Structure 1
Amino acid sequence: MSNKMFYAVILFCLQPVVFADTVTVKSVSVTKGNSVTLDSGLTEMMDDDLILWRFGYNKTLIAEISVMEDSITVYDDVPDERFRDRLKLDYQTGSLTITNTRTEHTGDYQLQSNSVRKRFNLTVYARLSVPVISRDSSQCSSSSSSSSSSQQNCSLLCSVVNVSHVTLSWYKGNSLLSSISVSDLSISLSLPLEVEYQEKNSYSCVINNPIRNQTTHLDITELCLTCSEDHVHCCGSIEAVIRLVLSALVGVATAAVLVYDIRSSSG
C-alpha cells in the first residue's frame, strides 16, 4: 500500500463521529458568480500532511493534497460535475477556492488532515434584482364609491421576481414599516404600502440577503397623482391626439380639393 493510500485510510477511519460532533461549523456566504476561499487556517503544511476536502452529506472527496508525494488531485467530476473547472487548491496552506460559484455549490464542506479538522457551511446567494415600485391601477376606478378620506391615500406596490433567501421591506426614512421574507423557493414577492397624497416623507423599498441589498426610492410626486389629476392628464393626452388626427384629416382633404381644381381647370 502506498503512503498516500495509508494516510487516506487513517484519516477516513479516525473517529468520524467525533469529527462531526466536535468541530465548529463556520458559515460562509458568497454571491453567485464570485469566488470564495475556504481557509484551512494553516500557514504551511507538515512534511507528511495529507489534506482531504469533502463535500455534502455523503462526504464525497473533491480534492486532496499529499505533501509526501508532492501531488495535488482535484475530483471536479463528482458528484455530478457541479465543480467542473471550478476548484483550486493552495499547495502551501491547503485552502480550497471555488471559482464562478453557483447556487448548487451551497452545502457542507469538510477539511481533514493530520494537523487540522474544519467544517464550512457555504451559502451561495443569487444576485439581487432591483425592486420595482408601482401604483395600484384599480385605485381610481374604485375610489368613486369610497369615502372622501380614502381618496386622500395612494396605494403602492413594491415587487421583485425570481428571488430566494431574501427579505423585502418598506422604510419610512430609517424606520421599518413592513417586511416579508422567503427562504429557499425561487418566487416573486410583492409588498403593499399606502401613503397620503402630497406627503413630504421619504419612502424606500429594500430587498436584502445576508450579504447585499438593493434599494428603490419612492417618488411620490410621480406615482401619487390624485384621481382627478390622473383624469386630467389622461384626457389631456387623448385630446391632444384627437386634435393631431383631425389636423391631419383636414390637410388631406384640402390637398384633395386642390388636386381636383387643378384637373378641372386643365380639362
Structure 2
Amino acid sequence: MEGDSVTLHTSVTKIREDDDILWKFGAENSLIAKISIENQISSTSDGTDERFRDRLKLDNQTGSLTITNITTEHAGVYQLELNGAKLTTKTFSVSVFARLPVPVISSNSSNCSLSSSCSLVCSAVNVSHVTLSWYKGNSLLSSISVSDLSISLSLPLEVEYQDKNTYSCVLNNPISNQTQHLDITHLCHTCADSIQSCDSTEAVIRLVLSALVGVAIVILLVYDIRSRRAEQNQAHIHPLGK
C-alpha cells in the first residue's frame, strides 16, 4: 500500500568479509544500493534516481533493503546480487497499490420512477488495479475490473422498491477493500412518494394562506369598527359645538 515501508530480505544472517551486495532496480538494472565489507562501503542511491531519494535503508548486518514511504512509481523488479565465494542472485517483484476511495452509490434517474424497480449506479473515480462489485448479502451479483490505467468505474444495479435484502458495493484490490452499503429508502423514490410529498407541501401552503386571509379579515373588521365609532363620536361633538 502507498505510504508503507517494504523490506526486501537477503536471507543472509550476517554478511561475510568477502561479500559484496548490490541492489539493482528495473529493466535497466540501475544500481540503487550496495555494501562492500572489504572496502567498508555502504551506500544507497546518490540522487541520480529521484524516485529513491531519502527512501532507501540498508541493513549492514544482513544486506536487506528497506524502501520507506513507498509509492506506485517504486513498483517493479528488484535484483539482489551477492558476490562472495560464488555469485548468488535473487529477484523481487514489488507491486504497490494506491489507497482506495469509498465507492459512491447514486440514483441513475433524477425523476421519480413509474416502474416497480429503482435504477442505481455505483462509481469510483481515478482508480487502477481494482475491481468494483455489487453484492446481495454475501452473493456476488456483478463486477467490473481495471488494470493499469487510472480511470473512473461505474456499475449499474436494478432493485425492487420493496426489496428487503441488503446490498453493498465493494471496491477492492489484492490487499484492501472499501465498502458502501445501499440505503434503498434514501435513494429510491416512487412517483407516489413524490405526489404524497407534494400533497403535504400543498396542504401546508393552503393552511398558511388561510391563516393570512383570516388575519386580514380580522384587521379589516377592527378597522371598520373603529371607523364607525369615530364617526359616531364626531356626530355627538358637532351639536355640542353649536
Query: What is the aligned counterpart of 1:114 among 33, 58, 83?
Result: 83
Matched, 1:195 2:159: yes
Residue 221 of structure 1 aligns to a residue whose secondary structure is: helix
Write the letter of the residue equivalent to 1:100.
N
Q: Answer whether contact 1:40 1:95 (CA < 8 A) is retained.
A: yes
Matches within 5 A, 1:232-247: 232-233=196-197, 235=198, 239=202
Report what 1:19 is aligned to.
none
Q: Answer whether contact 1:108 1:122 (CA < 8 A) is retained.
A: yes
Matches within 5 A, 1:80-119: 81-114=50-83, 116-119=88-91
Report what 2:238 is aligned to.
none
Structure 1 segments of 4 or more deviating over 3 A? 236-247
* TM-score, L = length of structure 2: 0.80
Q: CA deviation at 1:121?
A: 1.1
* TM-score, L = length of structure 1: 0.73
Matched, 1:172 2:144: no
Report what 2:223 is aligned to.
none
Report what 1:78 is aligned to.
48
Matched, 1:50 2:20: yes
Q: In the aligned structure 1, how far is the partner of 2:16 from the partner of 2:82?
A: 10
Q: In the aligned structure 1, how far is the partner of 2:51 from the partner of 2:101?
A: 25
Q: In the aligned structure 2, how far is the partner of 1:71 from the partner of 1:241?
A: 84
Q: In the aligned structure 2, how far is the partner of 1:196 from the partner of 1:74?
A: 60
Note closer, same or farther for the CA distance 1:41–1:243 as it changes in structure 2 (3 Å cut): farther
Calculate the aligned-residue CA RMSD, in Å: 3.0
Q: CA deviation at 1:152?
A: 0.9
Deviations 1:84-136 (A, max 9, x none): 11011111111111111111111111000125311111111111000111111
Q: In the aligned structure 2, how far is the partner of 1:119 from the partner of 1:43?
A: 18
Q: Answer whether contact 1:82 1:105 (CA < 8 A) is retained.
A: yes
Report what 1:124 is aligned to.
96
Query: Aligned pairs, how many?
Result: 219
Report what 1:69 is aligned to.
39
Report what 1:25 is aligned to.
none
Q: CA deviation at 1:76?
A: 4.6
Residue 73 of structure 2 aligns to a residue whose secondary structure is: helix
Q: In the aligned structure 2, how far is the partner of 1:191 from the partner of 1:158?
A: 5
Unaligned runs of 5+ in 1: 1-30, 144-150, 258-267
Report what 1:211 is aligned to.
175
Q: In the aligned structure 2, how far is the partner of 1:72 from the partner of 1:112?
A: 15
Write the letter of the residue equivalent to 1:74.
T
Write the letter of the residue equivalent to 2:18.
D
Write the letter of the residue equivalent to 1:113.
L
Report what 1:37 is aligned to.
7
Residue 83 of structure 2 aligns to a residue whose secondary structure is: coil
Q: In the aligned structure 1, how far is the partner of 2:160 from the partner of 2:67?
A: 50
Residue 52 of structure 2 aligns to a residue whose secondary structure is: coil
Note closer, same or farther for the CA distance 1:48–1:243 as it changes in structure 2 (3 Å cut): farther
Note closer, same or farther for the CA distance 1:236–1:131 as it changes in structure 2 (3 Å cut): farther
Q: Answer whether contact 1:62 1:78 (CA < 8 A) is retained.
A: no
Write the letter of the residue equivalent to 2:152.
S
Q: Answer whether contact 2:112 2:189 (CA < 8 A) is retained.
A: no
Which of the two has higher C-alpha Rg? 2
Matched, 1:224 2:188: yes
Unaligned runs of 5+ in 2: 221-242
Note closer, same or farther for the CA distance 1:68–1:182 as it changes in structure 2 (3 Å cut): same
